[in-house]
Amino acid sequence: MSPAAKQILILGGGFAGVYTARALEKLLRPEEATITLVNRENYWVYQPMLSEVISGSIGVANVVSPIRRLCPRTNLVTREIEDIDLANKIVTVSPGFRPRQLKLHYDYLVIALGNVTNFYGMPGMLENALPFKTLADAMVLRNHVIRTLEEADVEEDPELRRKLLTFVVGGGGFSGVEVIAELNDFVRAVKGNYLRLRNQPHRAVLVHSRNRILQEMAEPLALFAQKTLRKRGVEIILEDRLVAATSEKAILKSGVQIPCKTIVCTVPSTLPPVIEKLKCSKEKGKLLTNTDLELKNYEGQVWALGDCTAVKAVSGSEAPPTAQHAIREATTAATNIAAAIRGGGRAQFAFEGLGTLGSLGHGAAVAQIFGVKLSGLIAWVLWRCIYLMKMPGLNRKARIASDWTLHLLFPPDLAQTKLEPESGIQNQHFEAGDVVFQQGDLGDSVYVIEEGECDVLQEMDGSQKLLATLQAGDYFGEMALLSDQSRNATIRARTAMNVLIIPKDDFNKLRHSVPAFGEIFRALARQRAQPAVNTSDSVGT
Amino acid sequence: MSPAAKQILILGGGFAGVYTARALEKLLRPEEATITLVNRENYWVYQPMLSEVISGSIGVANVVSPIRRLCPRTNLVTREIEDIDLANKIVTVSPGFRPRQLKLHYDYLVIALGNVTNFYGMPGMLENALPFKTLADAMVLRNHVIRTLEEADVEEDPELRRKLLTFVVGGGGFSGVEVIAELNDFVRAVKGNYLRLRNQPHRAVLVHSRNRILQEMAEPLALFAQKTLRKRGVEIILEDRLVAATSEKAILKSGVQIPCKTIVCTVPSTLPPVIEKLKCSKEKGKLLTNTDLELKNYEGQVWALGDCTAVKAVSGSEAPPTAQHAIREATTAATNIAAAIRGGGRAQFAFEGLGTLGSLGHGAAVAQIFGVKLSGLIAWVLWRCIYLMKMPGLNRKARIASDWTLHLLFPPDLAQTKLEPESGIQNQHFEAGDVVFQQGDLGDSVYVIEEGECDVLQEMDGSQKLLATLQAGDYFGEMALLSDQSRNATIRARTAMNVLIIPKDDFNKLRHSVPAFGEIFRALARQRAQPAVNTSDSVGT
């Protein structure tokens, strides 16, 4: 690395960021520039194939590619980006093993941070809906689905079994359609291995806000897609959308409630917080650039591209958030950065898109390429060929081809790798009427009401008695934990209610180490255990 | 399932449990018996190949096999076993989505629960050493190793970088040897992809308590293994063992300390708690059976086999805890259960072992089969052939063969899948002199001392001042969290110290929802922020 080398800093490791680094490695010599890329993961996700991880038709590790191999001359910093200081040309990233922030200085900056999932204003979604963006999301979803099948196979209660066998996906764009198709294919393929589920129906529900799915495609293709999915057993609910969730159901805008234990939400995305707090020219929150992809007022210094940017082609058309556009934006940005460093021709973004492709699960897809519309098996073969060709590197191509071959020959894998985070202290949402826990259940957590009200009900001699109504700031569930017995009352939400759940393990660690914390609950339990003077004082749960 | 069918319940899904179920499926008709198997995972781990997951030479999903496919007629219950009631013939398993225990009744019981990792009496090991038994363990270790490489590549401090590049494995049996060999191979293979690590040395250290590794093999083979490992860069420390660990180092019995961020412990195993509390005849804690593998005093009703059992062959020799023995024990038990149900010949356990095989990483192994000793490449090829042949099912055989082929052609994958549990409230151990945090660090947690003492030190005008000494029951670290500033003092352990760590997120959730909890710390912070009247009252951290 030469002392005269310019520091190029790329933020984000999606298509836009990684392809900018790749292009720069080709355009610039090591003594001209040092390239650094910051991304929270050390791999780049091949988004078009991510949903295939659900069914296992591609192995988990093969749908991603290590950024260090894709950009061998780029320094990778695997951290979160906490702050961008455009005035002083400094980017602050999160700490690693040692709790100190790292500050990175740059001469040229590329912002390609994409977007993030956002459940703001949708009660209970953060706690109960699974996003679908990263490799971890795909693995968590796959394992969650296998867990619901395992539990459904053991479960005696038919109502809970139906919930366990219902899968709801919000959003009928490419991502939502691919997820519901793969999920449905997977459940159909493995259900035969569950002795008690073989003859049980399952529900796969796709919820979409418009009057047809795949808005990005021509209507005949979208209708074909709907027909294909429905033929395979997927229910499609149109002109409705997810607005809330609890651990027991999905709630739609129309008021429809779908009892289920699996909700995937592919819809709501927003800009990353670090972009939101960035003070510069924006359009609907997105970064504003010229057709050279330079950030307004920071020309020659900062480039912005990908989904966090309002990119307009020379023709004035807005670039949609797709991989093919991001790759061309990367070439444009890299050309202009190289020109800024050592002169030479500049480039303008003028790409108008080649077409769109969407998979509908095994053996079916829809495609619209150079104006030609294709559907069914031929579109699916085309889909596989095009995306396999586009995957960079022979290593990944060979691995994916091998996975696909094995998937054609053998049934999908169904090992559940229990790697999901342990529960820990967490928030939860309940709707009015929901049961938080039942009398007789094991005491596994303490609850603190943050918002809303609930009733404490006790079954006695065959009739149910209302012992008390609790509200924000009240605790419940402590008695079963302190006495190590099962719940002696049922708790039912009276209104929509948000609670903090402290699991038994954490509760016991805290009361052991911070005696004053335990005393808060012990005092309450003592008070509640006393013969009722007025009802609200005798609530043992 | 016929009403007259007997209920056979198998506890454990290792070699012993799964092969018993497979044998029973062949011996008994569905109307004769219903077979149920309880295991905490829905897959069976092919232990001999588990270490290959570390280097990625076998894909994560291919080293396990779904129990439902291995035993298609067996009901699988994917839960933890909480209690075995031999008198009433009831097994209680842990709750699933609903907090209710499930009780399983049986006519015939098979106990094959193996053993579990146990760090009792080894301070800090539970918090800092990684076990290596399950698929999740292998995935966590692989991801942890990649994380240390990512961080080492960014780290400027040479001391911390050396720690990040040091990997310690405890135990020189087959498992420990295979882990250190694979880990060392992997780090050597991928280090070139890290621009700043290419020329940095790494340390792979194997610690073993005896005077040579691989005690199960003949001495010349063990010495060959030691030579091979050392040639590949592995340090072998003999006649010493891991006794304690902190987040910064491994501590050996001899007093040697190895600064490192990765400790794997393959040694200490104990019986599962549910076996420990079982009241029946035992030998050194293990279940005692006759050569028919019937549990003493429960003949004709309960069979015990595998690593939780003291199995003796007809010759009187004790069966070692290996796969080949477990498989033969399973056949014996299944034959005798079938005989109990419908009469017929009984079997006695008389297997004496065929030999032993151990891999030393890519291209090298040691083998001792029918008295013949082999080492090097030929033993490695034999190792691969034998274990591939022994893997049940064409599906897995094909997948593993394909993985091995791709691994020969392409460099190993290095994508880090961040699926490790979020930190949450946890315990940690420090040795005397260890720094808990440094003045100037970001405030990321609050600490409660459970045992031991620490000093609060403040850097001021170039000199370090002792502000206070804290002891069991004291809290520290609250001030930086409450004021959202960096640490204004350094905390150093004065003695060995155990603490409870409450991370910022959990701390904030708790003090928001349980105001009395926040008040405990706010009062302390107010007191410490006041001008010091005596030193122990002015400890802001």
pLDDT digits (tens, 9 = 90+) for A203-221: 999 999 999 999 989 999 9
- The mean pLDDT value for A249-274 works out to 94
Is there a contact between B507 and B520 (Cβ–Cβ < 8 Å)?
Answer: no
Closest CA in chain B for residue A151:
B96
Q: Kindly tell me if the per-residue pLDDT of A419 is higher than 80.
A: no
- B-proximal residues of A, 402-431, CB under 8 Å: 402, 406, 409-411, 413-422, 424-425, 427
* Contact status, residue A475 vs residue A446, Cβ threshold 8 Å: yes
Q: What pLDDT is recorded for position B538?
A: 43
Q: Name the nearest CA neighbour of B149 among B192, B111, B110, B210.
A: B192
Q: How far apart are CA B288 and CA B309, in angstroms?
A: 6
Long-range own/partner contacts, residues B91-96 (CB < 8 A, 24 or more apart): B91/B9, B91/B11, B91/B38, B93/B38, B95/A442, B95/A444, B96/A151, B96/A154, B96/A155
Q: Name the strands in the sheet holding B454-460, side by side, starting at the edge strand that comes first in the sequence.
A: B435-437, B490-493, B454-460, B463-470
The pLDDT score that the predictor gives to residue B537 is 43
Write the residue in B395, B413, B514 that is nearest to A520 by C-beta.
B514
Token code pair at residue B83: 């209690």
Contacts of B400 in chain A (CB under 8 A): none
What is the per-residue pLDDT across A108-160, written as a single tens digit (0 to 9) for each? 999 999 999 888 889 999 999 999 988 889 999 999 999 999 999 999 899 99
**pLDDT attached to residue B56:** 86
| Residues A220-236, mean pLDDT to the nearest whole number | 96
For residue B204, list its beta bridge partners: B167, B234
Euclidean distance between CA atoms A65 and A76, whole angstroms: 13
What is this model's ipTM? 0.90
Beta-carbon-side half-sphere exposure of residue A144 (alpha carbons within 13 Å) = 23
How far is B309 from B273, CA to CA, in rounded Å? 14
CB nearest to A135's CB, from B194, B417, B513: B417
Write out chain B residues lying below 8 Å of A512, CB-based.
450
Query: At how many degrees (to 10) do helices A174-190 and A219-231 cross?
Result: 20
What per-residue confidence (pLDDT) applies to B2? 53
Of all residues in chain B, the one with the smallest CA distance to A512 is: B450
User: How much is the pLDDT for B419?
Assistant: 66
Q: Would you call B440 and A140 a contact, using CB atoms and an 8 Å cutoff?
A: no
CA A481 – CA B276 distance, rounded (Å) = 25
Residues of chain A with C-beta less than 8 angstroms from the C-beta of B506: 424-425, 506
* Residue A173: predicted pLDDT: 93
Contact map slice: B 324-383 vs A, CB within 8 A: none
**How buried is residue A45: exposed, middle or buried, by Cβ count under 10 Å (0-12/13-18/19+)?**
buried
Amino acid in the structure at residue A492: R
- The chain A residue lying nearest B518, using CA atoms, is A517
Mean pLDDT across chain A: 92
Cα B306–Cα B310–Cα B312 angle in degrees, nearest 5: 95
What does residue A115 show for φ and ψ, rounded to 5 degrees? -130, 175
Q: Which tokens in the block code for residue B409? A: 């052609």
Side-chain half-sphere of A103: how many Cα atoms within 13 Å?
Answer: 6
**Spatial CA neighbour of A348 closest among A428, A294, A406, A390:** A294
Q: What is the pLDDT of residue B421?
A: 54
Residue A409 and residue A406: Cα distance in Å, rounded?
A: 5
Q: Is A150 close to B502, i.e. CB distance below 8 A?
A: no
In angstroms, what separates the C-alpha of A383 from chain B's closest C-alpha?
24
Beta-carbon separation of B419 and A42 below 8 A? no
Residue A169 has pLDDT above 50, yes or no: yes
Q: What are the CA-CA distances from residue A526 to residues A121, A414, B455 (Å)?
A: 38, 48, 38
Both tokens of B284, joined, read 């050194």
pLDDT for the residue numbered A154: 94
pLDDT at position A415 is 86
How many residues in chain A? 541
Interface test with A, best of B45, B92, B97 (most A CBs within 10 A): B97
pLDDT of B282 reads 95
Q: How does DSSP classify residue B281?
A: -
Report the relative pairing of strands B490-493 and B435-437 from DSSP bridges: antiparallel
Which of A126, A143, A154 is most worth mutating to test chain B (most B CB atoms within 10 A of its CB)?
A154
> Which tops the pLDDT comparison, A525 or A287?
A287
pLDDT in tens, B338-379: 999 999 899 999 998 889 999 999 999 999 998 899 999 999
- Write the DSSP symbol of residue A420: S
Nearest residue in chain B measured CA to CA from A410: B395
Q: How far apart are CA A10 and CA A113, in angstroms?
A: 9
Burial of B6 (0-12, 13-18, 19+ CB in 10 A): middle
Answer whether A419 sits within 8 Å of B139, measured CB to CB: yes
pLDDT tens column, A495-526: 999 999 999 999 999 999 889 899 988 888 88
Residues 431-490 of B with CB under 8 A from A: 437, 440-444, 448, 450, 473, 475
CB contact under 8 A, B406 and A398: yes
Query: Measured over all CA atoms, what is the biggest interatomic distance in chain A, rounded to whole angstroms?
Result: 88
pLDDT value of residue B534: 45
Low-confidence ranges of chain B (pLDDT < 70): 1-3, 419-423, 531-541
| Residues B377, B399: Cα–Cα separation, whole Å | 23
Asked if A97 and B413 come within 8 Å (Cβ–Cβ), the reply is no
Position A97: which residue type? F
Question: Which residues are bridge partners to A164 per DSSP?
Answer: none
DSSP states of A119-186 as a string?
Answer: -TTSTTHHHHEEP-SSHHHHHHHHHHHHHHHHHHHH---HHHHHHHTEEEEE--SHHHHHHHHHHHHH
Instruction: Determine contact: B13 vs chain A, CB below 8 A.
Output: no
Give the amino acid at A466: L
Residue B433 pairs in a beta bridge with none
Determine the Cα–Cα distance for residues A303 and A291; give it in Å rounded to an integer. Answer: 11
- Tell me which residue in A413, A417, A516 faces B139 most closely, judged by beta carbons: A417
